[in-house]
Chain A
Amino acid sequence: DAMVIQNPRYQVTQFGKPVTLSCSQTLNHNVMYWYQQKSSQAPKLLFHYYDKDFNNEADTPDNFQSRRPNTSFCFLDIRSPGLGDAAMYLCATSRDRAEPQYFGPGTRLLVL
């Protein structure tokens, strides 16, 4: 059974057109993360939620925003996608911040 679900799996958007990626979890974990991963690179943490507490990484561009309306769901909003934002976006969850993370299958974003 899927525990961390990401939709859609593939997303094509146009340069500058806002896009929203979604993540849901059935694990009831407190922490949800959003990572950006480009080819042959490590996942780069964008931000995380510890319960309702939002934590932004210092180098995450303002173009990236997130919402967590409840425990199960978390959204990544890219307000004005640029060509450099084309990447795999991974959602992950963990019971607590130091605990192992469980990743979803990712959404591959293509910006035309």
Chain B
Amino acid sequence: GQQVMQIPQYQHVQEGEDFTTYCNSSTTLSNIQWYKQRPGGHPVFLIQLVKSGEVKKQKRLTFQFGEAKKNSSLHITATQTTDVGTYFCAGRGSGGSYIPTFGRGTSLIVHP
């Protein structure tokens, strides 16, 4: 079935440093979604990317979808303690399965 690899598994940063998490698929994705899960909370939808090479921004967060639609990244500029949590990508294959497959997530720890 569809597999989505996400790295790194954990990332420690000092407050104010940047952070990036990467998502990779061996097959072409029709779209990719990003979610944030705070400690003790539930996943919350952030954004969906559909087009090849698409870039979307939400304040300090920048989301990219690769030209080949096989990879995606989430970059946070100047992290804050409120950014703490686990960031999941979820990719939907271009054929067959309708349901996005979640990556294993990247846990961001921000040190004040």
- CB within 8 Å of B: which residues of A? 33, 40-43, 45, 48, 50, 90, 92, 97-98, 100-106
A48 CB contacts on chain B under 8 angstroms: 99
Chain B count of residues within 8 A CB distance of the other chain? 21
B105 CB contacts on chain A under 8 angstroms: 41-42
- CB within 8 Å of A: which residues of B? 30-31, 33, 35, 41-45, 48, 88, 90, 92, 98-100, 102-105, 107
CB-contact partner of B104 in A42, A98, A106, under 8 A = A42
A-B CB contacts (within 8 Å), total count: 43
CB-contact partner of A42 in B31, B42, B103, under 8 A = B103
B43 CB contacts on chain A under 8 angstroms: 43, 90, 92, 101, 103
CB-contact partner of B102 in A43, A50, A105, under 8 A = A43
Structural contact, A98 and B98, CB atoms closer than 8 A:
yes
Chain A facing B: main interface SS: loop
B48 CB contacts on chain A under 8 angstroms: 100
Nearest Cβ distance between residue B71 and chain A, in whole angstroms? 18
Given contacts A42-B103, A48-B99, 6 further A-B contacts (CB under 8 A): A33-B99, A41-B105, A42-B105, A92-B43, A98-B30, A100-B48
Q: Given A40-B107, A43-B43, A90-B42, A98–B102 Cβ distance below 8 Å? A: no
Structural contact, A101 and B45, CB atoms closer than 8 A:
yes
